[in-house]
A and B are shown apart, each in its own frame.
Chain A
Amino acid sequence: MKPAPFIWHGPTSVDEAVSVLAECGRDGKVLAGGQSLVPVLAMRLASPAHLVDINRIAGLNFVESTPAGVTVGALARHRALERDAAATTAQPLLAQALAFVAHPTIRNRGTSVGSLAHADPAGELTCVLALTGGHILARSSRGERRIAAADFFLGPLESALAADELALHAFFPALPAGAGSAFTEVARRHGDYALCGVAAVVTVDAAGVVTEARCGYLVVAETPLVLEVTEAALTGEDALADLAMAAVDPQSDIHGSADYRRHLAGVLTVRAVRQATVHARARRQIVAA
């Protein structure tokens, strides 16, 4: 249960970090909060020859909110984002989802961008980035590029980041006026990996009628799944549950069968859409007033 030896790099600037990453190539791995990476190293599921520790780089620990959305720097800890009032106002789904990310002790150290780069389909924020249509800004010695959420998650634990790229920040678009959001999941214990999780963003008109509904799923697909569910939401809750159950592709493991997870996808979709609709109606009144 001890990591294998590695060569540690402690760059103090982004330029230095990407140049080290370029030198290390496929033998290098970025270390931010380490709350997913260090267990992987301890169990020796991975043993990269080089770790590029970005914790000493100034200027990456920030959360910046504008009317357009929330930008989260590579060193912003989950807990800081969760407690950021301006971020919660701009995109409430962030704090709603972060409450389900492991335990507070883990959130004190783990970074939001790191968990996106880890690309675990069980990661709550992967689902939020996909559902909100956000993006990742990646930098390498070759330049900078913006990777849309839809192109970012390639498979379980596999992101579109190249070996020499550092994820500098994640951008989550703001929740539009007239829309509401909700995040719900079922886990064996709160803070454990979810058996299934569903996020919803629902838009309502001035009369409170749903005009658009979309859901994001974690755990029950290889990459974060996003479903357009407007029609089903207007048809009724049975249609909503049926749509979700047909779309997901869960796996069985010791914690729950594929059938059970599929069932949860249906139940949680109904619950998330219901909560997001209530949230949207409440926000509309606030906006109108």
Chain B
Amino acid sequence: MTEELRHAVSLRVNGIHRAATVVARRTLSDFLRHDLGLTGTHVGCEHGVCGACTVLLNGDPVRSCLIFAVSVAGESVTTVEGLRPDPDSLSPVQQAFHECHALQCGFCTPGFLTTVTAGLAENPNPTPTEAVEMIAGNLCRCTGYQNIVDAVLRAAQIQRDSL
């Protein structure tokens, strides 16, 4: 096969305009990690099952391993690096994960943080059942999920308290 055609892709990542020239089969997850150096987004299964690569696309959580970077040129992406309000503090969801010990190895955590951030924006007062549903599309092999569910509820409380 002749050399693969490359495409100039620019998009807004965590509020900053970023660009790179990549082959069409470059997934958004690899684009973020390899081309932009944003290695906070983790890649687990690479076929949309595990949820580790979840980022926010125009505010909505999506699997970045199931989207080609070239398909979302010009759009707006938020990764785990973009969740904290400033370099010295944690977002309410990050703070809650820290407090509740909602991570062990941390591999799945970026996907949980983005998913829960969007989930709480949509439903700021989840019941325990709704908290379970919120994270049902993300796999964790360490915690057994209880601490993550606790963290979802704790994050909601931190957000309420800060109002």
Contacts and interface: CB of A to CB of B under 8 A. Distances in A.
B61 interface: yes
Interface in B30-64: 45-48, 51, 54, 57, 60-63
A7 B46 CA distance: 21
B66 A7 contact: no
Contacts of A39: 47-48, 66
A105 B54 CA distance: 8
Contacts of A42: 46-47, 65
Contacts of B71: 31, 34, 53, 55
B25 A104 contact: no
A109 B137 CA distance: 14
Interface stretch (B1-9, B84-92, B153-161): B1-9
B137 A1 contact: no
B83 interface: no
Given A105-B62, A109-B67, A189-B136, A8 B48 contact: no
Contacts of B4: 5
Given A2-B25, A190-B133, A79 B60 contact: yes
B74 to A, nearest CB: 9
* B contact patch SS: mixed
12 contacts: A4-B25, A7-B5, A8-B5, A8-B7, A8-B70, A35-B63, A38-B65, A38-B66, A51-B24, A79-B60, A105-B115, A189-B136
Interface in A1-46: 1-8, 10, 31, 34-35, 38-39, 41-43
B46 A104 contact: no
B121 to A, nearest CB: 13
Nearest to B111: A105
A106 interface: yes
Interface of B: 1, 4-5, 7, 23-25, 27, 45-48, 51, 54, 57, 60-63, 65-68, 70-72, 115, 133, 136-137
Contacts of B51: 103, 105
Interface of A: 1-8, 10, 31, 34-35, 38-39, 41-43, 51, 53, 55, 79, 102-106, 108-109, 189-191
A38 B62 contact: no
Name which of A55, A103, A105 has the most chain B CB atoms within 10 A of its CB.
Answer: A105
A39 B63 CA distance: 11
A8 B24 contact: yes
Contacts of A104: 61, 137
Given A53-B71, A109-B67, A3 B25 contact: yes
Contacts of A79: 60
A26 B67 CA distance: 23
Nearest to B54: A105
A112 to B, nearest CB: 16
Contact of B63 (A6, A51, A109, A189): A109
A105 B61 contact: yes
Contacts of A102: 137
Contacts of B68: 8, 31, 34, 38, 53
Given A5-B25, A8-B24, A53-B71, 10 more contacts: A1-B45, A34-B67, A42-B47, A43-B47, A103-B51, A105-B61, A106-B48, A109-B62, A109-B67, A191-B136
Contacts of B5: 7-8
B148 to A, nearest CB: 15
A102 B63 CA distance: 12
A41 B67 CA distance: 11
A53 to B, nearest CB: 5
